[in-house]
Structures are given as C-alpha cells and as structure tokens.
C-alpha cells in the first residue's frame, strides 16, 4: 500500500522536475534535481507557431467551461424533474441513464461523429461541445442530490403559495442544489478538459484543437525533432494549473455545504 502511495505521484513529480530542465539537461542525465531552463521552456512554448499553445489552452477552456456549464444546467433540470415529479416511465428513463453511465465513451464516439457529419458540424467547435452537454452521470448525481436536499414539503409550500413550477425550481430548489451542482460542474469540467478521443475524431483543423490533442500532435512531431519534447513536458505541466485553480475556487462551496448541513 505504501509503495502504491509513492508510485502514483511519481509521474507528476517527474513532469514538474522535467519541465525545469533545458533540452541538454533533460537528455544528458536522469535525476530529480530541478534544472535551470523553466523560463526558457515557457518562452519557447509561447513562441512556438506564434503562440498556438495558448490557443489550444483557450480552446480547452471554452470546451470545458461552456460544456460543463451547459451540462450542469441540463443535469440540474433533469435531476430535479426525476427527483420531484411522478410520471409514467420515470424509473425506466432513469435506468436508461444509469446504462449510459456504464457505457464507455469510445463506443459512442463513432456514432456521434456520423450524426454530426450528417449535420455538417464536424471540424467545428460545436462538434466537441454538443456531445458533452448531456452527461448521464451528471443527471444521476443531480437526481440523488435533489432528492436529498430539496424536501417535498418545501416544494408543496411553494405551490400552495401560488408559485409556478419554474419559479419553485429557480428560487427554491436551485439554491439548495448548488453544492451538488458544483460537484457536477467539476466532474464534467475535468472530463472535458482531459478528453482526447472525441476531439481527435471530430477535428482536423489544429487551430481548434484542445490542449490534449495539441500536445499529442506536438509529441508526434517530437519524434523527428527531439527539442520539442521539452515543450511537450512544459505544456503538460502548465495544463494542470487550470484544474488546480478550479478546485481551489469551488472548494469553498463544499466547505459551505458542510458548515450549513444540520447535525445528526
């Protein structure tokens, strides 16, 4: 168990150290002692192809940020409806969603490509955004959290006061669901940010590549130009910072939820 605890952070530690080394330092010796080339690596990475790396980062921020936001909105409405309303086929629909959770993304990638190709949307930003909007796992989490956090008595009280269903959802239920929806947003953001297969299938214009696909193409070019390996390593290291920043920003919502939760 202790060896596993040491093994898991080892690749991360290597990327951190390797990103500080120049090309000569990286290939001459294999040590965990930091190098002196981090600033030069970042400068070279930013200058590569007129800063295409930062465009890839911006594309990833667009795909992950907008995709996670839209997915969270859809999950919130769907999860609340499944938790609150009683209608024929509700459990069947929920079971289908559970089956979607168990479905490997690789199975859906080719059918999604064929559908978007019929709509002439391949090689566009929408071809990466649209398949991310519906997240079965996000709907599942939203339903579980809505059932636990939104009391039926509160919903009924809103109806008795004359509030419409949409008003009850936006003004009463949604604030109660915020901690759970933040979790949905985080999971979906990380999933989209790290997604490689879908952009790889959908996109051919490297100006639209996310950071994962961009670094992959850079790594392929590094097979013939070893100097590019330092750029790939530095780019991989910098790509982690948005995820760290996201976790630090949304952590306060979980802390607030634990503080406001009633005791046993």
Give pLDDT tens digits for 17-76.
888 887 777 777 667 777 777 888 889 888 888 889 999 999 999 999 999 999 999 999
Tens of pLDDT, residue by residue over 207-234, are 999 999 999 998 887 666 667 888 888 9
Q: Over the stretch 64-104, which tens digit does the pLDDT of each residue have?
A: 999 999 999 999 999 999 998 888 888 888 888 888 888 88
pLDDT band at 259 (very low <50, low <70, confident <90, very high): very low
Instruction: Write down the pTM of the prediction.
Output: 0.87
Using CA atoms, how far apart are residues 62 and 129, in angstroms rounded to an integer?
9
Q: Long-range contact list for 205-211, CB < 8 A, 24+ apart?
A: 205/123, 206/52, 207/52, 207/55, 208/59, 208/123, 208/124, 208/125, 208/128, 209/56, 209/59, 210/56, 210/59, 210/60, 210/63, 210/64, 210/128, 211/53, 211/56, 211/57, 211/59, 211/60, 211/235, 211/239
Could you give the domains of the chain?
51-260 (1.10.3720.10)
What mean pLDDT value characterizes the chain? 85
User: What pLDDT does 260 receive?
Assistant: 45
Grouping H, G, I as helix, E, B as strand and the rest as coil, residue 257 is helix
Residue 131 CB-density burial (10 A; 0-12 exposed, 13-18 middle, 19+ buried): buried
What number of other Cβ atoms are within 10 A of residue 199's Cβ? Answer: 22
Band the pLDDT of 4: cuts 50, 70, 90: low
Tokens at residue 84, please? 């609150």
| Of 27 and 243, more confident | 243
Q: Token pair of 62, please? A: 């667009």
pLDDT at residue number 1: 55
The CA distance from 131 to 112, in Å, is 7
Buried (b) or exposed (e) across 137-161, using 16+ Cβ within 10 A?
Answer: bbbbbbbebbeebbeeeebeebeee
Question: What is residue 222's predicted lDDT score, i.e. its pLDDT?
Answer: 67
Comparing 145-149, 216-220, 252-256, 260-264, the range with the smallest average pLDDT is 260-264
Structure-token match 């400068």, residue found: 43
Q: What is the model's pLDDT at position 2?
A: 58
| Whether 135 contacts 188, CB under 8 Å | yes
In this prediction, what percent of the chain has a pLDDT beyond 70? 90
User: What is the per-residue pLDDT for 3?
Assistant: 60
Q: What is the pLDDT, as a whole number, of residue 99?
A: 84
pLDDT of residue 224: 65
């Amino acid at each position: 168990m202790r060896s596993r605890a040491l093994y898991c952070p080892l690749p991360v530690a290597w990327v951190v150290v390797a990103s500080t080394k120049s090309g000569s330092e990286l290939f001459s010796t294999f040590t965990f002692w930091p190098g002196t080339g981090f600033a030069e690596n970042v400068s070279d990475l930013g200058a590569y192809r007129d800063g295409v790396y930062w465009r890839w980062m911006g594309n990833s921020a667009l795909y992950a940020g907008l995709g996670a936001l839209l997915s969270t909105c859809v999950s919130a409405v769907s999860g609340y409806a499944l938790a609150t309303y009683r209608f024929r086929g509700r459990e069947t629909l929920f079971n289908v969603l559970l089956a979607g959770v168990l479905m490997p993304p690789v199975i859906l990638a080719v059918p999604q490509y064929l559908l978007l190709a019929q709509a002439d949307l391949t090689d566009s930003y929408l071809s990466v955004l649209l398949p991310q909007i519906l997240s079965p796992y996000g709907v599942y989490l939203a339903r579980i959290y809505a059932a636990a956090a939104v009391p039926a008595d509160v919903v009924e009280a809103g109806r008795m006061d004359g509030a419409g269903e949409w008003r009850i959802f936006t003004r009463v239920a949604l604030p109660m669901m915020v901690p759970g929806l933040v979790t949905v947003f985080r999971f979906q953001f990380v999933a989209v940010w790290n997604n490689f297969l879908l952009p790889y299938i959908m996109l051919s214009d490297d100006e639209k590549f996310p950071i994962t696909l961009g670094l992959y193409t850079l790594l392929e070019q590094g097979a013939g130009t070893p100097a590019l390996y330092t750029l790939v390593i530095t780019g991989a290291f910098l790509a982690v910072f948005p995820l760290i920043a996201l976790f630090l920003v949304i952590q306060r919502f979980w802390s607030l939820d634990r503080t406001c939760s009633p005791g046993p």
